[in-house]
Chain A
Amino acid sequence: MAVEPFVDAAYLLFAFTSLYFVILFFLLFARNKRDLKALPQLSALPGITLIVPAYNEEKTVSKTLRHLQGFDYPKEGVEILVVDDGSSDRTFEVASRFKGVTVLKKKNGGKASALNYGLRFAKGELVGCVDSDSSPRSDALLKMVPFFSQENVGAVTSSIFVSGAKNTIERLQRIEYIMIVWARKLLEYLDSVYCTPGPLSLYRTDVLRKVGGFDEKNLTEDIEVAWKLIHHGYKIRMASAAEVYTAPQETFGKWWKQRLRWNIGGMQTTLKYRNDLFRRGFGSLGMFVIPFFSLSYFLSMFGLFLFGYIVTKWVSNLVLFATGASALGLNPLNHLGMLMLPDVFTVFGLLILVLSLVWVRISLKTVGKPLGGWRGLVDLALYLTVYITIFPFNLLQSSWRFVTGNYSGWQGFTTSRS
């Protein structure tokens, strides 16, 4: 049976779906470009409890606490709770040196468990979760709080950027974080901010308690809690003007493991909320978030297999032709054109590639984080070719681990970072 018709159909399906999402994001941008960084009117300054879960963070927790104490917000309105999640280093002692900071100690149970523990003691009307390696800008809270003027807003997230990117993997994460900030803001217009990331997110304390806090069994409690809020009818807003800087994963190995955790956590969450799929009663969760999230996983894997097949076939034909031509006394270079005929599918591929490039360009410009110089261009080229291509492989391993259950005990391996 010929494979080509199926490959053609699969390619068209992939192209259509990819095109749909690219166009959707362009339309979202076109309609909302003027108020991407706009803030609602600030009507009150509610009390905020900032919870910092920390596990063996003696080297970074001081810097984070200095940032939190330097917020442009009434000092009496900010309570800082550090939850030492059973650290074996001097995290507790280092954090205890800060005046006005309450340090709680508990047995190691993972980041979600530490956050829930802190939530029990929180006195503020709002509660903020802050990773122990993140550095928020001093005006971040002032730029997030106004979004709570709407009654049904349950959480507000911030723009998270990478700080101090030095090596290649760090610089690539820098671009990725910019793209995530950008996409998340646009998804807000569909009520579909599907993650309230750990570096800095604010929640209504009573709402967070009402929905049961963070899921301690989930590897990505920040995704799960966002879905839970949407499930219960709350909106999540994205304060793009509130900037937070976080340390990237400094090696490929660490980055890979972090992505495995993110992917598996995403899968756990999707499975947990599968019954909401296409059900109107749960806001945008069933009608957009779950389909979008699942489809992005599917497209990534599907794309891997599809392009893997196409590229493998093309390369193997090229190699067979070149070696065969040499053996038959021909100069292969004179005849390779026979294998490189563009067709209408090439046009579709190029169209999506061009739209994606334009998209990245608009993102970087609008977010205001230009890459700068030739090194930035090289990074961008690497991001669009190598970095993105690695994702499906990670997803493949994540899926395997998820299916085989080979991720138990991961809740505790990084308790305080996203």
Chain B
Amino acid sequence: MQKDLLWKAGLLTVVIFAAGIGIGMWLDISRVGSVQERLTDIDLEWNDARLQSLYYSTLNDSASCGAAVRANLDFNGKIYAEGQTIEKYEAINRFAPDLIQQKKRYALLQFQFWLNSLNLKKSCGANYTTFAYFYSHYNTSLEIDQELQSAVLLELKEQCGDSVLLVPLPLDLELTSIDLLKDAYKINSAPSILVDESSVLRGLQSLPDLEKIAKC
């Protein structure tokens, strides 16, 4: 009886399995690292865009409003794409630590971006519709609804381009600034959409309905 093969197979399995787990961990960790790096880059870009807005509003340089609005819109495109990347990485992450810190940083950037958009609307009369999309990070039962709402908003952004600003904000990451916003508009469930800081749409919203609101 070739008993030795029993333990040799075991050993080989452990090695291959450990290698597989190791590769998985390495992939997950490198993805987290990549998100961190990209968030750092976005942080810098965000500060640049925010300082531009501050500059224009401080100097009351209405002639440069177009550039400020443009920078803000460009930043929106980047940060929204980054959010999707984080979501994708999170969905396939098995071994690396949670991406919760990255998500919090991302959410705070979005919140700052949302505030900046409001300032530009006031100071420069920027003409876009802002959709602040509230979703739940922890409630897995909402997974499909949120996937759908996210897809609808993405489609809307693709159709409407610069006339729409998308700001995804997590409801339940315990960030005080976002909690203030939630309380102000009595937003307690996901998915919900705050449109132009005035009305709140609760539950799933269809593309045609949002198109009417966006007027694009």
* Residue with the highest number of chain B CB atoms closer than 10 Å, among A15, A23, A27, A32: A23
Nearest first, the 5 closest Cβ-Cβ pairs linking A and B are A344-B24, A329-B207, A24-B9, A343-B92, A328-B206
A335 and B156 CA atoms in complex are apart in Å by: 13
Interchain CB contact under 8 A, B92 and A31: no
Contacts of B147 in A (CB 8 A): 321, 335, 338-339
A327 and B145 CA atoms in complex are apart in Å by: 12
Assess whether B63 is interfacial by the CB under 8 Å rule: no
List 16 A-B residue pairs with CB atoms under 8 Å apart, sorted by A's residue number.
A19-B13, A24-B6, A27-B12, A28-B5, A31-B2, A32-B2, A189-B5, A321-B144, A328-B148, A328-B205, A341-B91, A343-B24, A343-B91, A344-B20, A345-B94, A348-B20
Partner of A23, one of B3, B9, B20: B9
Contacts of B10 in A (CB 8 A): 20
Partner of A330, one of B3, B140, B151: B151
Assess whether B204 is interfacial by the CB under 8 Å rule: yes
Assess whether A149 is interfacial by the CB under 8 Å rule: no
Partner of A327, one of B13, B16, B20, B206: B206
- Known interface pairs A20-B9, A23-B16, A24-B9. Does A335 touch B88 (Cβ–Cβ under 8 Å)? no
* Residue with the highest number of chain B CB atoms closer than 10 Å, among A189, A321, A328, A343: A328
Contacts of B151 in A (CB 8 A): 325, 330, 335, 338
A351 and B21 CA atoms in complex are apart in Å by: 13
Assess whether B23 is interfacial by the CB under 8 Å rule: yes
A369 and B209 CA atoms in complex are apart in Å by: 63
Which range contains the number of B residues in contact with the other chain?
A: 35 or more
Contacts of A20 in B (CB 8 A): 9-10, 13
Nearest B residue (CB) for A3: B140
A190 and B93 CA atoms in complex are apart in Å by: 40
Interchain CB contact under 8 A, B17 and A329: no
- Known interface pairs A19-B13, A344-B24, A347-B24. Does A2 touch B94 (Cβ–Cβ under 8 Å)? no
A345 and B150 CA atoms in complex are apart in Å by: 26
How many A-B contacts at CB < 8 Å in the complex?
100
Assess whether A284 is interfacial by the CB under 8 Å rule: yes
A351 and B93 CA atoms in complex are apart in Å by: 19
Interchain CB contact under 8 A, A191 and B1: yes
Assess whether A8 is interfacial by the CB under 8 Å rule: yes
Interchain CB contact under 8 A, A344 and B27: yes
Contacts of B95 in A (CB 8 A): 344
- Known interface pairs A341-B92, A345-B94. Does A16 touch B17 (Cβ–Cβ under 8 Å)? yes
Contacts of A27 in B (CB 8 A): 5, 8-9, 12
Interchain CB contact under 8 A, B155 and A330: yes
Assess whether A288 is interfacial by the CB under 8 Å rule: yes
Interchain CB contact under 8 A, B152 and A330: yes
| A window 12-33: CB within 8 A of B | 15-16, 19-20, 23-24, 27-28, 31-32
B12 → chain A closest CB, angstroms? 5
- Known interface pairs A190-B2, A190-B6. Does A320 touch B144 (Cβ–Cβ under 8 Å)? yes
Interchain CB contact under 8 A, A31 and B1: no
| A window 325-378: CB within 8 A of B | 325, 327-330, 334-335, 338-339, 341-345, 347-348, 351
User: Main secondary structure on chain B at its contact with chain A?
Assistant: helix
Which range contains the number of A residues in contact with the other chain?
A: 35 or more
- Known interface pairs A20-B10, A324-B144, A328-B148. Does A8 touch B207 (Cβ–Cβ under 8 Å)? no
Nearest B residue (CB) for A329: B207
Assess whether A397 is interfacial by the CB under 8 Å rule: no
A343 and B206 CA atoms in complex are apart in Å by: 31
Interface string of B20-31 (1 = CB under 8 A from A): 110110011000
Nearest B residue (CB) for A331: B155
Nearest A residue (CB) for B148: A324
Interchain CB contact under 8 A, A344 and B28: yes
4 additional contacts, CB 8 Å, given A190-B3, A330-B148, A341-B91? A324-B144, A334-B155, A339-B147, A344-B28
A7 → chain B closest CB, angstroms? 11
Assess whether A317 is interfacial by the CB under 8 Å rule: yes
A73 and B17 CA atoms in complex are apart in Å by: 51
Contacts of A329 in B (CB 8 A): 152, 206-208
A278 and B155 CA atoms in complex are apart in Å by: 61
Partner of A321, one of B1, B13, B148: B148
A318 and B13 CA atoms in complex are apart in Å by: 34
Contacts of B91 in A (CB 8 A): 341, 343
Contacts of B145 in A (CB 8 A): 324
A191 and B8 CA atoms in complex are apart in Å by: 17
Interface string of A105-116 (1 = CB under 8 A from B): 000000000000
Nearest B residue (CB) for A17: B13
* Residue with the highest number of chain A CB atoms closer than 10 Å, among B20, B140, B208: B20
Contacts of B27 in A (CB 8 A): 344
A298 and B49 CA atoms in complex are apart in Å by: 60
Nearest A residue (CB) for B13: A20
Interchain CB contact under 8 A, A288 and B28: no
* Residue with the highest number of chain A CB atoms closer than 10 Å, among B2, B12, B95: B2
Interchain CB contact under 8 A, A2 and B24: no
A23 and B20 CA atoms in complex are apart in Å by: 15
Contacts of A15 in B (CB 8 A): 17
Interchain CB contact under 8 A, B94 and A344: yes
Contacts of A321 in B (CB 8 A): 144, 147-148
Nearest B residue (CB) for A288: B6
B186 → chain A closest CB, angstroms? 24
Partner of A317, one of B6, B16, B20, B144: B144
| B window 101-120: CB within 8 A of A | none
Nearest B residue (CB) for A335: B151
